[in-house]
């Protein structure tokens, strides 16, 4: 199907089909297949999470952006790095479980390094405490990346580094979101990081659920790791 003739209903059907993938292998296969059409499909969805996350991080980051090393977790085709590049960031390491997505991310020319990793099934393949900023956009949701992964994101950031995360706030994801927020708060109480801001967005992306029309809401979380 060409990009010119693809409709919202077409994209909706593609995404609903992904919900049937129960195993990690099935999910990886889906994203490998979807990679080529991913950017045009999420544009049809009016998917705003990459720009919202980049805006949140940019508004609080006071360091030297061009030199800052950013870990882009679940980087997909590179949409987040493209947004962060527009804010002056210039050094990216991408991690994703899908080889197809990583191949497209490589073509952007934005990343200095890539690692393939199934989040939640194996630890992040990075040196702890080595990134000025860590971002994960779109992957923290039910059926994708387990909540426990946020501890690894925190460990990957330098002392005083930032961690920016997003999740959806639609009905199907509310239980996951509640568990995520409990973990974020628990880590704050443990002295691992401090909350910088949480942004609630009403029009996150167009709804693909059979029960809802219009847009679904979402949230951006920005935390700063505490210095040693």
Tell me if 158 is assigned to some domain.
yes
Same domain? For 131 and 193 the reply is yes
Evaluated on CA atoms 107, 145, 200, 44, the torsion sign reads positive
Q: Are residues 54 and 130 in the same domain?
A: yes
- Rounded to 5 degrees, φ, ψ at 73 are -90, 135
Q: How many CB atoms lie within 10 A of CB 195?
A: 13
Q: Do 84 and 156 belong to one domain?
A: yes
> Would you say residue 3 lies in a domain?
no
pLDDT at position 2 is 45
Q: Does residue 1 form part of some domain?
A: no
In a domain, 100, yes or no: yes
pLDDT digits (tens, 9 = 90+) for 55-114: 999 999 999 999 999 999 999 999 999 999 999 999 999 999 999 999 999 999 999 999
Q: Is residue 68 part of a domain?
A: yes
CA-to-CA distance for 15 and 208, rounded, in angstroms? Answer: 8
Q: Tell me what pLDDT residue 106 has.
A: 96
> 């129960």: which residue's tokens?
22
| pLDDT per residue as tens digits for the range 17-40 | 766 666 777 788 889 999 999 999
What pLDDT is recorded for position 13? Answer: 84
End-to-end CA distance of the chain: 53
Q: What's the CATH code of the domain at 133? A: 3.40.50.150
Residue 43 sits at the vertex; the CA angle it makes with 37 and 46, to the nearest 5 degrees, is 145
Phi, psi of 158 (to 5 degrees): -65, 160
Residue 2 within any structural domain of the chain: no
Question: Residues with Cβ < 8 Å from 36, sequence gap 6 or more?
Answer: 100, 104
For residues 34 and 113, membership in a common domain is answered with no
Strand 215-225 versus strand 157-168 pairing type: antiparallel
- Structural domain count of the chain: 2
Model confidence at 3, pLDDT cuts 50, 70, 90, reads very low
Q: Strand, coil or helix: what is 114?
A: strand
Segment of 20-24, 178-182, 206-210 carrying the highest mean pLDDT: 178-182
Answer yes or no: is 193 within a domain. yes
**Chain-centroid distance, C-alpha 57:** 13
| pTM confidence score | 0.93
Same domain, 106 and 13: no
| In a shared domain, residues 22 and 95 | no
**Separation CA 218–CA 215 (nearest Å):** 10
Asked if residue 214 and residue 190 are part of one domain, the reply reads: yes
Asked whether the predicted pLDDT for residue 143 surpasses 50, the reply is yes
Q: Cα Rg for the chain, rounded, in angstroms?
A: 17
Range of the domain at 214: 49-225
């Amino acid at each position: 199907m060409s990009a010119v003739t693809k409709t919202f209903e077409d994209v909706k059907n593609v995404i609903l089909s992904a919900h049937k993938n129960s195993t990690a292998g099935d999910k990886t296969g889906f994203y490998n297949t979807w990679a080529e059409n991913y950017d045009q499909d999420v544009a049809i969805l009016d998917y705003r999470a990459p720009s919202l996350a980049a805006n949140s991080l940019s508004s609080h980051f006071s360091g030297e952006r061009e030199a800052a090393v950013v870990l882009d977790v679940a980087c997909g085709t590179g949409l987040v790095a493209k947004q962060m590049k527009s804010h002056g960031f210039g050094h990216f390491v991408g991690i994703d479980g899908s080889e197809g997505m990583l191949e497209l991310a490589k073509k952007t020319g934005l990343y200095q390094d890539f690692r393939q990793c199934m989040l939640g099934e194996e630890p992040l393949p990075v040196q702890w405490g080595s990134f000025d900023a860590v971002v994960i956009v779109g992957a923290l949701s039910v059926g994708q990346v387990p909540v426990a992964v946020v501890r690894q994101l925190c460990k990957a950031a330098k002392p005083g580094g930032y961690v920016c995360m997003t999740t959806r706030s639609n009905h199907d994801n509310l239980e996951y979101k509640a568990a995520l927020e409990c973990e974020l708060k628990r880590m704050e109480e443990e002295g691992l990081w401090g909350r910088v801001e949480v942004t609630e967005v009403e029009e996150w992306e167009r709804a693909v659920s059979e029960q809802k029309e219009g847009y679904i809401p979402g949230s951006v979380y920005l935390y700063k790791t505490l210095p040693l």
